A and B are shown apart, each in its own frame.
Chain A
Amino acid sequence: MKPSFSHWLGLFSIILGVFAWELIVRLSGLPRFILPSPLDVWMRLLKSLADGSLLYHTSITLLEITLGLAVGVTFATLLGYMLAKSRSLEKVLSPYLVASQAIPVVAIAPLLVIWLGHGIISKVVICALIVFFPVLVNTVVGVRAVPPALYDMMHSLRASRWQVMSKLEVPASLPVLLGGLRIGATLSVIGAIVGELVDAKEGLGFLLKVGDFQYDTSMVFVAVIMLVALALALYGIVTLLEKRFLKWQHTPS
């Protein structure tokens, strides 16, 4: 397939943006530690790639995000499934769940770091917490939306509990679930960075802070660009999952 005109338009827009940035730097005469030029950032990127620091810190953050997502999504879908199936469990837990949502995770991040240390565990937990709620809510909504008639159909065929879950509830709620994952994936990047900004010895958040302390503003830019790349990559993976598993929703007519 030929890349379409709109693809080129996007690329063109990026190139234009970089030029505008360069132009602003030249015209304003701002010092480098306030606004580095695109070339400065590029050189800094190459340098940090060459000494291995960028990949190292990126891999730490990526590890935190991956583990955080895995833990958050696992607990959220399990609990979400149970809540969807049991109105009484929902009644018991919903005050806590609603209250927990009123607490911004960002605000308790320092607490979590105090309790769990400044290693990666505290970041994984922050990540998991921030991912938890949207995935939980979407799981409940998704499972509740399974058409009752399809339950009747499965039960008339004497389907086991496991079969009802694997062949009906999971595929039926997958669109909503992946929607939750899409939100969760983006949030998880924020979670990891918040944790690292509070206190860390490694990771992109750490790199951000170091750049900030040392007036190495180019480094800050590099770290931010890396974070955007991570977020986009996660978003892309969810999109791929949707393409793969939700084919039936997007059939060309």
Chain B
Amino acid sequence: MTAKPILTVKNLSVIFPDSNGGLHALDDISFEVHSRDFICFLGPSGSGKTTLLRIIAGLLQPSSGQVSFVDNLQPKIGMVFQQAHLMPWRTVMDNIKLPLELEGMDESQARIKAQEMIELVGLNGFEDSWPRDLSGGMAQRVGIARSLVHDPDLLLLDEPFASLDALTRERMWVELSRIWQVKQKTVIMVTHSINESLFLADDVLVLTQRPGKIKLEVKVDLPRPRNDDIRYTSHFGKLARKLRGAIE
């Protein structure tokens, strides 16, 4: 299949103004994303991962280079952040249906859709809970549900599980992997975790530290659906070693 890419990034560079000549955050980044890809940028902190996602989301203008979407249409975006960033004054239900409210969907329909998402991420019974009463893992599930509820064309995940403890994080990988298979979304994720990138993505691009530059691209030819066992296979180990070698 050689369909048109839904996102093309070409020679993208970002320089933040500062006192000594500007901080070079991203340098000459080029890549393509096709529909239903799950691609992952792997890089140490400060390699410009968040900056890259903010540019794709249209929250920031690049200093040079182009970000173009298929047919020049701004895609609908769902975003998950390192912290869940829920609105503390909204219940779980109301947080999840926020994107639908913004689209002007009527209340009853929005609730039905939000309820579907609540079930998808396994939060039944917590509809009326306040964010302050949720654990980190539950809050992050709400964040994921919110990013999917309006059926976005493109899902952007910014180290979505970095703030969770190791066990919860690994459980969330399995969940996200399952959700991705159900929803068939196009996903761009950034992370500093090699295991996370390999477990979830089809394609891993390694970023160097400041300025962030694509150093290596690794196709993750591990079978799906992926479960915990896959991390203990020799092929997983081989890919992990390759990525480890590329990150300084």
Are A153 and B85 in touch, CB under 8 angstroms? yes
Are A158 and B85 in touch, CB under 8 angstroms? no
| Contact-size category for B | 20 to 34
- Chain A 220-253 per-residue mask, 1 if CB under 8 angstroms from chain B, else 0: 0000000000000000000000000010110101
**Most A Cβ at <10 Å: residue of B58, B59, B81, B89:** B89
Q: Is A35 an interface residue (CB 8 A)?
A: no
A246 to B102, CA, bound (A): 22
Q: Is B150 an interface residue (CB 8 A)?
A: yes
Secondary structure of the A contact surface, majority rule: helix
- Chain A 130-155 per-residue mask, 1 if CB under 8 angstroms from chain B, else 0: 00000000000000000101101111
**Most B Cβ at <10 Å: residue of A171, A246, A248, A253:** A248
- Nearest to B146 among chain A residues (CB) is A153
Partner of B81, one of A153, A249, A253: A153
Are A157 and B87 in touch, CB under 8 angstroms? no
- Given A156-B59, A248-B130, A248-B132, the answer on whether A168 and B87 have CB atoms closer than 8 Å is yes
Q: Is A26 an interface residue (CB 8 A)?
A: no
Number of interface residues of A (CB under 8 A): 22
Are A157 and B133 in touch, CB under 8 angstroms? no
What A residues does B54 contact at CB under 8 A? 152
Are B89 and A172 in touch, CB under 8 angstroms? yes
- Chain B 130-150 per-residue mask, 1 if CB under 8 angstroms from chain A, else 0: 111100000000000000001
A171 to B87, CA, bound (A): 9
Q: Is A59 an interface residue (CB 8 A)?
A: no
Q: In chain B, residues 46-78, which have Cβ atoms closer than 8 Å to a Cβ of chain A?
A: 54, 57-59, 74, 77-78
Are A156 and B79 in touch, CB under 8 angstroms? yes
Are A150 and B89 in touch, CB under 8 angstroms? no
Are A157 and B102 in touch, CB under 8 angstroms? yes
- Nearest to B50 among chain A residues (CB) is A152
Partner of B102, one of A147, A152, A158, A172: A158
Q: Is A32 an interface residue (CB 8 A)?
A: no
CB distance from A207 to the nearest CB of B (A): 43
CB distance from A106 to the nearest CB of B (A): 38
CB distance from A74 to the nearest CB of B (A): 23
Q: Is B43 an interface residue (CB 8 A)?
A: no
- Given A153-B79, A156-B79, A167-B102, the answer on whether A251 and B130 have CB atoms closer than 8 Å is yes
Are B85 and A157 in touch, CB under 8 angstroms? no
**Most B Cβ at <10 Å: residue of A156, A168, A246:** A156
CB distance from A167 to the nearest CB of B (A): 7
Q: Is A163 an interface residue (CB 8 A)?
A: yes
Partner of B59, one of A150, A152, A171: A152
Q: Is A159 an interface residue (CB 8 A)?
A: yes
Q: Is B99 an interface residue (CB 8 A)?
A: yes
CB distance from A251 to the nearest CB of B (A): 5
What B residues does A249 contact at CB under 8 A? 88
- Chain A 149-187 per-residue mask, 1 if CB under 8 angstroms from chain B, else 0: 110111111110001000110011010000000000000
Partner of B85, one of A150, A167, A248: A150
Q: Is B195 an interface residue (CB 8 A)?
A: no
- Chain B 81-108 per-residue mask, 1 if CB under 8 angstroms from chain A, else 0: 1010101111100000011011000000
- Nearest to B88 among chain A residues (CB) is A248
Partner of A157, one of B77, B81, B83, B132: B77
Are B133 and A147 in touch, CB under 8 angstroms? no
- Chain A 106-149 per-residue mask, 1 if CB under 8 angstroms from chain B, else 0: 00000000000000000000000000000000000000000101
CB distance from A139 to the nearest CB of B (A): 17
- Nearest to A147 among chain B residues (CB) is B85
Are B89 and A156 in touch, CB under 8 angstroms? no
Are B89 and A171 in touch, CB under 8 angstroms? yes
CB distance from A12 to the nearest CB of B (A): 37
- Nearest to A171 among chain B residues (CB) is B89
Q: Footprint of B on A, CB under 8 Å?
A: 147, 149-150, 152-159, 163, 167-168, 171-172, 174, 246, 248-249, 251, 253
Having A152-B54, A156-B77, one finds 6 other A-B pairs with CB under 8 Å, namely: A150-B87, A153-B81, A158-B74, A167-B102, A174-B89, A251-B132
Q: Footprint of A on B, CB under 8 Å?
A: 54, 57-59, 74, 77-79, 81, 83, 85, 87-91, 98-99, 101-102, 130-133, 150, 156
Give 24 CB contacts A-B under 8 Å. A149-B81, A150-B85, A152-B54, A152-B57, A152-B59, A154-B102, A155-B57, A155-B58, A155-B59, A156-B57, A156-B77, A156-B79, A157-B77, A157-B99, A157-B102, A163-B102, A167-B98, A171-B87, A174-B89, A246-B89, A248-B131, A248-B132, A251-B133, A253-B133
